[in-house]
Chain A
Amino acid sequence: MAYSEKVLDHYNKPRNVGTLDKNDPNVGTGMVGAPECGDVMRLQLKVNEETQIIEDAKFKTFGCGSAIASSSLATEWIKGKTVDEALEIKNTDIVSELSLPPVKIHCSVLAEDAIHAAITDYKAKRAAREGSPQPANA
């Protein structure tokens, strides 16, 4: 199976590899997949509370080249978008951008899931904060 140029590019030069502080209130962390399935993606994003714009994104992925490329591309795409805009990214967008073959579509699904999981985590943190305001912020 030959890989597309774009998959190779992301695999060889993955964008935004790394870790954000998961305890930061403005950081959302999404981890999807399972080692038994051969794919685990951890995607993190840092949101500007005022503007709701994703200012930073990082990932680490255990998986095949297409999984690495899908998550690398996802971090590239969500940076600079608002949280709501990021939620609109569809796995099919990733499939067409990376020219993924049918057997690799699950990699793009996982990347979409990772974005959603990270945003869900961020929103949960925010809701928890608003539900019980800290004395310092009051």
Chain B
Amino acid sequence: MQTPIYMDNHATTPVDPRVLEAMLPYFTKVFGNAASRNHSFGWEAEKAVDNARKQIADLIGATPKEIIFTSGATESNNLAIKGVAEMYAERGNHIITSATEHKAVLDTCKRLEKQGCRVTYLPVQRDGRIDLEMLEEAITDKTILISIMYANNEIGVIQPIAEIGKLAHARKILFHTDAVQATGKVPVNVQTDNIDLLSLSGHKIYGPKGVGALYVRRKNPRVQIAAQMDGGGHERGMRSGTLNVTGIVGLGKACELCNQEMPAESKRLAYLRDKLKEGILSQLDECYINGSMEHRLPHNINISFAYVEGESLLMGINDVAVSSGSACTSATLEPSYVLKALGVGEDLAHTSIRFGIGRFNTEEEVDYVIKRVVETVMRLRELSPLYDMAKEGIDLSKVSWAAD
């Protein structure tokens, strides 16, 4: 076993060697512009792109023509939401989303608010899922789009996507989902889930960075989006710019591998995740799991370690790469807005760690991470005045803190 150990697979994943192998010829040998219609270099590139389109479509139950290539999920989210807001402006200006979305969705919505759109940010319940009744009540005759993520990047909680899709279609509202964390990890199907627009990314599924896709439904209903970048009219006019053929080949191959290996892989990851969780919880008291265990990605766990600040814990397990909801690890000095939306107190939000197990993690690594986390939490609790006070029976919520 080698250290450091990478267990932050919600942030990004390494490129699978089989993906890299598929990509390599397209850097030097088959380097043509997929838009060059008059020579074999262009045709070869176009063929590779079309093949990738099919591989991606197959993973999510779409048809190849419904796949629009982008630079990644941030662009896909921007294009979907802004593109719909612009295209359907005459029909309405109301968008519904949720409080735990990725910033690529939230900040896009905030910009649209400045431009005259009205946005409802649905709260989530304690388990991290939205309330379908609340969603239904939020719908008005001006609602043109519902954008709810498939699975959350911090807590791995899976939203009731099929139910949302059903509701949206019944009310003739478009449904976009940011499926970056879910695609390739759990079965995603745009037909059975009634999804109209879906964002996905290469680097979260063992593909390369800098490439993603947006699924845009072509039938029942035919969805139109206004392009957000002007140029050569690539991707059926929805996204101009020379196609990143190499990246697209990698994204396609990554999707194909996920499609083939998902049943076995998700089982293995869930086993490792459960082992990690049990290993930690059986040895430490006052650890709290954030988000639903029932509706959750198989490779995610997010735990608050009471009385131990997250960044200091990361420092202690410095040969394990995970991430923290602590303010100290963010640029804003605010703890995770996702955990706050769940109703996790700021004190506990500061103590949270996200583990994302991936394709290349081994059971030996999981055992090592359990050991490192347990010993470090114990050491830091010895250093924590809050742990002392809690052991003395002092109710920390009743203490008047001398904070600024």
Interface residues of A (CB under 8 A from B): 3, 8, 11, 14, 17, 19, 31-42, 60-65, 67-68, 103, 113, 117
Contact = CB atoms under 8 A, between A and B. Distances in A.
Interface size class, chain B:
20 to 34
A40 B401 contact: yes
B328 A60 contact: no
B315 A62 contact: no
A64 B385 contact: no
Interface in B355-386: 382-386
Given A36-B346, A40-B386, A60-B383, A68 B403 contact: no
Contacts of A39: 309
Contact of A31 (B331, B335, B385): B385
A34 B326 CA distance: 14
Contact of B311 (A14, A64, A117): A64
Contacts of B350: 35-36, 38
A48 B259 CA distance: 72
A39 B345 CA distance: 14
Interface in B311-348: 311-312, 315-316, 326-328, 331, 333, 335, 345-347
A83 B402 CA distance: 22
A11 B315 contact: yes
B395 to A, nearest CB: 12
A38 B346 CA distance: 8
> Which of A11, A35, A37 has its CB near the most chain B CB atoms (within 10 A)?
A35
A35 B386 contact: yes
Contacts of A67: 309, 312
A11 B312 CA distance: 8
A113 to B, nearest CB: 8
Given A36-B345, A38-B326, A40-B385, 15 more contacts: A3-B315, A31-B385, A35-B346, A35-B347, A36-B401, A38-B328, A39-B309, A60-B384, A60-B388, A61-B384, A62-B307, A62-B383, A63-B309, A68-B383, A103-B333
